[in-house]
Amino acid sequence: MEPHHLINVVDVEATCWDTATPPGAVSEIIEIGLTVVDVTVGERISRHRLLVRPTRSRVSPFCTELTGLTQAEVDSGVDFATACRTLARDHAAGRRPWASWGDYDRKQFARQCEATGTPYPFGRHHTNAKAAFTQAHGLRRRPGMAQALAHVGLPLEGRHHRGEDDAWNIAALILDLARRNAWPPAA
């Protein structure tokens, strides 16, 4: 049985464009960053990165500028179904509560799983860390991750818009909320 104090913090990067989506293309996950957090101990336990090979789109120059990811790099990744199986097998995604900054990551997984017929890898307990942060700090607007880090005086570690680094930084924000007794308990 998975301890309830472990949380998978997930951040995805997906194909994107600075203008309209090219004809026939769809936004697809190209990187999954995952940091395991132990909220009881107050530590980030491990960090992981899965590169995912898109099949219905390509990495645009805009996407490379934003994320640093290139088409050649993601071509070396696994297919989406394999990535989802890896999340379930190696990271207890179906049993462990998980969190992301906002609902984009959860919705992107749901859309892509439905479009590809891939079983959804996560369990039902998802926490929108952005909403929890906003409520805990009494903010009117939901801040971006970098703004939230600055708000509580934490450094942005690594490259913003890189899934592995963003998951690591979101995990730091979750631990900060847990220290303030403001992280919602797993349902």
The 10s digit of each residue's pLDDT in 115-165 is 999 999 999 999 999 999 999 999 999 999 999 999 999 999 999 999 999
Per-residue pLDDT, 1:
40
Spell out the domains of the chain, with CATH numbers in brackets.
6-179 (3.30.420.10)
pLDDT at 187 over 70: no
Spatial CA neighbour of 13 closest among 33, 37, 39: 33
- Cα dihedral: 123, 173, 101, 120 (round 10): -20
**How long a stretch of residues is the chain?**
187
pTM: 0.95
Q: What is the DSSP string of 24-43?
A: T----EEEEEEEEEETTTTE
Tokens (6 digits) for 187: 């349902």
SS3 call for 38: strand
Q: How many Å apart are CA 2 and CA 81, to the nearest integer?
A: 23
Would you say 112 and 118 are in contact if contact means Cβ atoms under 8 Å apart?
A: yes
Spatial CA neighbour of 40 closest among 181, 155, 170: 181
Band (pLDDT 50/70/90 cuts) for residue 12 is very high
DSSP 8-state assignment for residue 186: P
- Helix ranges, 14-70 (H): 61-67
Please calculate the CA angle 27-31-33 and round it to the nearest 5 degrees.
Answer: 130
Band (pLDDT 50/70/90 cuts) for residue 185 is confident
End-to-end C-alpha distance for the chain, whole angstroms: 15
Q: For the chain, give the mean pLDDT.
A: 95
Would you say 33 and 81 are in contact if contact means Cβ atoms under 8 Å apart?
A: no
